[in-house]
């Protein structure tokens, strides 16, 4: 890649394909996905194909589930993620079949996740049971209690409508603005007092009988008891309170595949009636002008200073520590090596490391139409982050790199870091499982960082782009064979795949769309790339030089060491210009307020 520089084993900015083996020094995680016709129920009361949602772009609301079995409403976006992907078919006991990549994770009834290829016949999955009551309202079974709840109150109690208000002398009810009880989109729901609601319905000529039923139940009683009991009895007698796997079959056909991003919960429901895990540098784009950064600079600086943690020792206090379903992932218990790492994950969740990790506010200019983002050409407020799997990923990489090298003691010292693990060995399988878990943990870090900072700044995300680097993927080569593609400091750039290529703390980054160049193994650069090593930067640059560079570009730096000075990096414009055959630029991010780890010494 044009940003390549020296690294152990494989240059940073290098891409390597291997057969049936994985090299821990160039680690990876699959992006798991579904066939385009896979249907997803939205809160508007309709079901949509993933392909249709990806082509439509923009944000929508789906059903998600917490590990305890509480069904909630969550915001999501859809993306096409891979071409010519290998598929399996998962058959359920409700007669539904789901076609997905073998690595896509399904949510078990106990809240843990399991890859499709590893599901066994009879495995119980977290179900989505929903129906209509006699009054036309959508009912959703809460799996933690097995009782049914009206969907509009499920949306409210997900926090997606804000705080539930009280009305003096009245009970709180929820009004459907378009009078369609099946349309539970947040924008169609409005809190009202019961008497105000009654007058509205009477003035509109609505059916008082329907209205009176929901008011009588009110805030305290949102279960349609008779209908719910009948539905639950049927489910319990005929199906139990879950869906079970009948069989998993490998398919010969290969197709382009799609997935959803659900930042708050990392899972979503399929129309087939089960919950599945979703896919995951990240940039969030907001429905606000970037001029707000200058108008309320203090608020945005405060959001970074108070809601981000950097370096080895900084972490949130126990009472403020974030939570995420990834902490309940069953794979923490899969091996003796992983079990103690879960505590480290709890302590470091939502934090960033030192070095080149950052979180920064800036201006994003969309320069080309992007149906994937659902946004028009123009300038937007944006938040860009670079983070990873912290100590979890570091320990996994160290342990399995040591193990790989011990298995190949005769390798020349020059190439010892290219020691491999066979994927059909216990060590290879354990590494792949650990690697995927680290990837899910890294995605959770990004989700929490962006959620906390956005909330503190009082802005609402309308679109985002994420991508991995320093990972490995199972991919199909031009000759039809399967290989493990290692991208060490490189970004996936398959045809139509969006990615982010950052510059430095003072130079722009770019949102790009991959062109699917076979010769580059569908890859592009992962950033500007260093032209000075860390020690060389510290020894040859001064704070005065760095700060003058930042000042000339209007960038406020919170923390940051000389080893990350912008002068230590290559010219990002030259790097982008060198790969016009690999990606097309659709947007440009210009940093304005940058948060990094504090300086290590007095430079």
- Of 26, 30, 29, the closest CA to residue 397 belongs to 26
Q: Which helix (H) or strand (E) holds 123?
A: none
pTM here is 0.60
- The residue whose two tokens read 């414009």 is 573
Which among 558, 502, 598, 591 is positioned nearest to 304, based on CA atoms? 558
Spatial contact of 501 and 386, defined as CB atoms under 8 Å apart: no
What would the pLDDT profile of 189-233 be if each residue is shown by its tens digit? 999 999 998 888 888 665 443 443 343 333 334 444 444 444 444
Structure token pair of residue 409: 């003691």
Lowest mean pLDDT among 56-70, 312-326, 546-560: 312-326
110-133 mean pLDDT: 86
Task: Give pLDDT, residue 49.
Answer: 95
- Whether 432 has a pLDDT exceeding 60, the answer reads yes
Architecture of the structural domain at 34-127+242-277: Beta Complex (2.170)
Q: Name the band, by pLDDT with cuts 50, 70 and 90, for residue 280.
A: very low
pLDDT tens readout for residues 562-592: 888 999 999 999 999 999 999 999 999 999 9
- Taking the C-alpha atoms of residue 106 and residue 274, their distance in angstroms, rounded to an integer, is 8
Tokens of residue 485, six digits: 């593609």
Non-local (6+) Cβ contacts of 208 within 8 A are 198, 201, 202
Cβ neighbors of 540 (< 8 A, separation 6 or more) are: 532
Mean pLDDT, rounded, for 468-495: 84
pLDDT of residue 207: 47
**What's the average model confidence in pLDDT over 133-161?**
91
Q: Which comes out higher in pLDDT, residue 428 or 215?
A: 428
- Sequence spans of domains, the chain: 14-29+280-595, 34-127+242-277, 147-231
Q: What pLDDT is recorded for position 40?
A: 96
| pLDDT band at 82; cut points 50, 70, 90 | low
**What is the SS3 assignment for 530?**
strand
pLDDT for residue 92 is more than 50: yes
Same fold, 14-29+280-595 and 34-127+242-277: no
pLDDT for 301-317, tens place per residue?
999 999 988 876 677 88
For residue range 435-480, list pLDDT tens digits in order. Answer: 888 888 888 888 899 999 999 999 998 888 887 777 788 888 888 8
Contact 3, 526 (CB under 8 A): yes
Q: Is 9 left (phi over 0), alpha (psi -120 to 50) or beta?
A: left
The pLDDT, as a whole number, for residue 224 is: 43
Count of C-beta atoms within a 10 Å radius of residue 440: 21
The whole-number average pLDDT for the span 537-547 is 91
The pLDDT tens digits for 5-25 are: 655 566 777 888 888 888 876
Handedness of CA 291, 297, 300, 305 (dihedral sign): positive
Sheet with 130-132, edge to edge strand ranges: 130-132, 138-141, 148-150
Token pair of 528 as six digits: 């500007």
**Residues facing residue 165 across a β-bridge:** none
pLDDT at 167: 92
Span 494-502, mean pLDDT?
90
Give the separation between CA 416 and CA 404, rounded to whole angstroms. 9
CATH topology of domain 147-231: Homing Intron 3 (I-Ppo) Encoded Endonuclease; Chain A (3.90.75)
CATH architecture of the domain with residue range 14-29+280-595: Alpha-Beta Complex (3.90)
pLDDT at 27 over 60: no
29: tokens are 């995680």
CA dist., res. 138 & res. 457, Å (int): 34
- Report residue 537 as tokens: 């930067």
| Count of CB atoms situated within 10 Å of the CB of 424 | 9
| Dist. CA 169–CA 9, nearest whole Å | 72
């Amino acid at each position: 890649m044009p940003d390549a520089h020296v690294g152990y084993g494989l240059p940073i900015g290098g891409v390597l394909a291997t057969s049936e083996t994985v090299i821990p020094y160039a680690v990876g995680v699959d992006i798991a996905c579904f066939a385009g016709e896979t249907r997803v129920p939205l809160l508007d009361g309709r079901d949509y194909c993933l392909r249709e949602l990806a082509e439509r772009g923009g944000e929508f609301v789906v059903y998600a589930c917490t590990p305890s079995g509480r069904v909630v409403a969550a915001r999501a976006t859809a993306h096409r993620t891979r071409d010519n992907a290998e598929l399996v078919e998962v058959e359920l006991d409700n007669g539904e079949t789901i076609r997905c990549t073998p690595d896509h994770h399904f949510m078990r009834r106990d809240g843990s996740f399991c890859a499709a290829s590893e599901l066994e016949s009879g495995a119980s999955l977290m179900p989505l049971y929903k129906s209509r009551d006699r009054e036309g309202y959508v009912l959703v079974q809460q799996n933690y209690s097995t009782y049914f709840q009206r969907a509009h109150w499920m949306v409210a109690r997900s926090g997606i409508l804000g705080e539930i208000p009280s009305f003096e002398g009245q009970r709180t009810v929820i009004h459907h603005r378009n009078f369609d009880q099946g349309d539970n989109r947040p924008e169609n729901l409005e809190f009202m007092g019961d008497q105000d609601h009654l007058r509205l319905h009477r003035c509109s000529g609505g059916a008082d009988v329907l209205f009176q039923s929901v008011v009588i139940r009110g805030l305290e009683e949102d279960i349609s008891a008779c209908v719910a009991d009948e539905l639950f009895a049927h489910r319990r007698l005929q199906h139990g309170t879950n869906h079970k796997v009948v069989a998993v079959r490998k398919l010969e056909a290969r197709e382009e595949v799609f997935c959803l991003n659900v930042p708050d919960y990392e899972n979503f429901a399929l129309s087939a009636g089960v919950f599945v895990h979703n896919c995951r540098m990240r940039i969030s784009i907001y429905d606000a002008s970037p001029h707000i950064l200058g108008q309320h600079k203090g608020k945005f600086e405060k959001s970074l200073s108070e809601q981000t943690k950097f370096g080895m020792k900084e972490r949130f206090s126990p009472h403020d520590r974030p939570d995420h379903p990834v902490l309940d992932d069953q794979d923490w218990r899969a091996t003796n090596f992983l079990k103690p790492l879960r505590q480290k994950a709890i302590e470091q969740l939502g934090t960033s490391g030192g070095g080149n990790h950052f979180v920064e506010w800036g201006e994003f200019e969309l320069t080309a139409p992007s149906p994937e983002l659902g946004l028009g050409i123009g300038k937007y407020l944006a938040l860009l982050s670079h983070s990873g799997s912290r100590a979890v990923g570091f320990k996994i990489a160290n342990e399995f790199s040591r193990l790989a090298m011990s298995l190949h003691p005769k390798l020349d010292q020059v190439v010892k870091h290219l020691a491999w693990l066979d994927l059909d060995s216990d060590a290879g399988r354990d590494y792949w499982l650990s690697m995927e878990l680290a990837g899910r943990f890294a995605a959770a870090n990004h989700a929490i960082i962006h959620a906390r900072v956005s909330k503190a700044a009082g802005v609402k995300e309308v679109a985002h782009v994420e991508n991995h680097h320093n990972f490995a993927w199972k991919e199909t080569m031009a000759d039809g064979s399967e290989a493990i593609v290692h991208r060490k400091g490189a970004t996936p750039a398959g045809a139509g795949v969006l990615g982010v290529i950052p510059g430095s703390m003072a130079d722009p980054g770019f949102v790009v769309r991959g062109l699917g160049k076979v010769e580059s193994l569908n890859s592009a650069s992962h950033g500007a790339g260093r032209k000075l090593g860390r020690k060389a930067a510290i020894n040859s640059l001064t704070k005065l030089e760095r700060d003058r560079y930042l000042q000339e570009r209007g960038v406020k730096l919170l923390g940051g060491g000389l080893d990350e000075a912008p002068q230590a990096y290559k010219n990002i414009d030259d790097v982008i210009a060198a790969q016009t055959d690999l990606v097309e630029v659709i947007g440009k991010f210009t940093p304005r307020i940058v948060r990094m780890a504090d300086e290590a010494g007095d430079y």
